[in-house]
Amino acid sequence: MSSFRIAVFASGSGSNFQAILDHVNQQKLDIHIELLVCDRPGAKVIERAEKAGIPVFVFRPKDYISREMYEQEIVNELQKKQIDLIVLAGYMRLVTDTLVKPYYGKMINIHPSLLPAFTGLDAIGQAYKYGVKVTGVTVHFVDNGMDTGPIIKQEPVDIHEKDTIEELEQNIHKVEHLIYPEVIELIAEGRVRLEGRRVSLYPKK
């Protein structure tokens, strides 16, 4: 079993979580998913995790006085599990310093656009409505802003004239499910270096 331990944060159906899990199960990704963190009891991603025997930490944000309070509880869980990397995969909440400070450079997010274009919610819809010819997928380190952290890897996705938004969503998700496990592998193998805003990727030795 790999000694590189990740926690996945998700709020919805968990398609990216499943893609990562599939890569692990197919021995394409040598890491261990130690924990799923979810802020929505009843989300389908919980079912996916439980089926795979992965521990789940579920919470309701409204049960806490502040975001910092539930994030501190999350940090406690992460430290218990000795997590090496936090992987945000459709986690629909901004994070505060409570989480960012202890895990800066060890927390990544995936966003369905070529950042810095189309930040925030509904990035696919934003790009489609704007009429751009190329959008894509970005994996970046997480900082205090909304989709503003240092960029690790980007992959373009063409928008063809006759594409529906549903077809564009499918094309984006296909790329997400390939690029995210690739980046996790790069980090697990120590092939990613963060210096300021610049991220360098290194080949296998």
Catalytic residues: 111
Q: Give just the sign of the alpha carbon dihedral 157, 161, 162, 166.
A: positive
> Sheet harboring 5-10: ordered strands across?
56-58, 32-38, 5-10, 85-88, 107-111, 134-141, 151-158
Q: Which two tokens stand for residue 119?
A: 């930040």
Distance separating alpha carbons of residues 193 and 127, to the nearest angstrom: 30
Other CB atoms within 10 Å distance of the CB of residue 136: 24
Residue 25 C-beta-side C-alpha neighbours within 13 Å: 11
